[in-house]
Amino acid sequence: MGKTGETFVKEWLIEKIYGTRKEIHSKYLDKGNNNEGIAIEMAAQQLKEPMLLKNDQWFENDYIHGTPDVLLPDMVIDVKCSWDAFTFPLFETELPNMDYYWQMQAYMWLTGKTEAKVVYCLTETDEEDPKYIGVPADKLIKVFNVPFDADAVEKIKTRIEECNEYLKKIV
């Protein structure tokens, strides 16, 4: 499980004991939250969907829980707002952040979908000083397909079981 996993379990337990969540604030997270609606509209255009709606349905099973950004009949879509042109995966051909691969596996498992897309969007950081006016859409949006992988789900289950075993040791 490693030190990262142990730290996660300890922080989770602290949250449960004290009834509070660890607050994480950053300008990067704020931008993603503030621009999520814009990113969903951009994803709709890129994917040639007439309209994508923000999902607010909470899903859970015996192992995990979560709320995917967008649900279609056969697909989960999650949007990511890059901070700037230098963090946007313009030249990447494979999903650059494997955390998102695991997130999509979890969402597909929760929803029963077999396809997912991670859609990176380069949105304005500062509306007072726009930088991307006139940039073609294909340079502002990057889509990565993530197919469902039953073996990945088994790995998630195994990791959660390891976390539960560690939790028993420290409680």
| pLDDT value of position 115 | 98
- Collapsing DSSP to helix, strand or coil, 149 comes out as coil
Sign of the CA dihedral with 104 first, then 105, 111, and 112 last: positive
Q: Are 43 and 120 in contact (CB under 8 A)?
A: no
Q: Is there a domain that residue 76 lies in?
A: yes
pLDDT, tens only, 85-135: 999 999 999 999 999 999 999 999 999 999 999 999 999 988 788 899 999
Structural domains in the chain (count): 1
Q: What is the 3-state secondary structure (H, E, C) of 22-67?
A: CCCCCHHHHHHHHCHHHHHHHHHHHCCCCCCCCCCCCEECCCCEEC
Q: Is there a domain that residue 13 lies in?
A: no
The structure's pTM equals: 0.91
| pLDDT value of position 171 | 87
Q: What's the number of CA atoms in the CB half-sphere (13 Å) around residue 80?
A: 21
**What single-letter amino acid sits at 46?**
Q
Q: Is there a domain that residue 8 lies in?
A: no
Spell out, as residue ranges, where the chain has pLDDT lower than 70: none
Q: Are 107 and 77 in contact (CB under 8 A)?
A: no
**What single-letter amino acid sits at 93?**
T
- CATH classification at residue 47: 3.90.320.10
Buried b (16+ CB within 10 A) or exposed e, 47-86: beeeebeebeeebeeeebeeebbbbeeebbbbbbbbeeee
Q: Which two tokens stand for residue 139?
A: 């340079």
Q: Is there a domain that residue 5 lies in?
A: no
Q: Is there a domain that residue 20 lies in?
A: no
The domain of 59 spans 25-161
Q: Is there a domain that residue 170 lies in?
A: no
Report angle CA 115, 121, 123 to the nearest 5 degrees.
155
Q: Is there a domain that residue 132 lies in?
A: yes
Q: Is there a domain that residue 61 lies in?
A: yes
Going from the C-alpha of 60 to that of each of 57, 107, 160, the distances in angstroms are 10, 9, 14
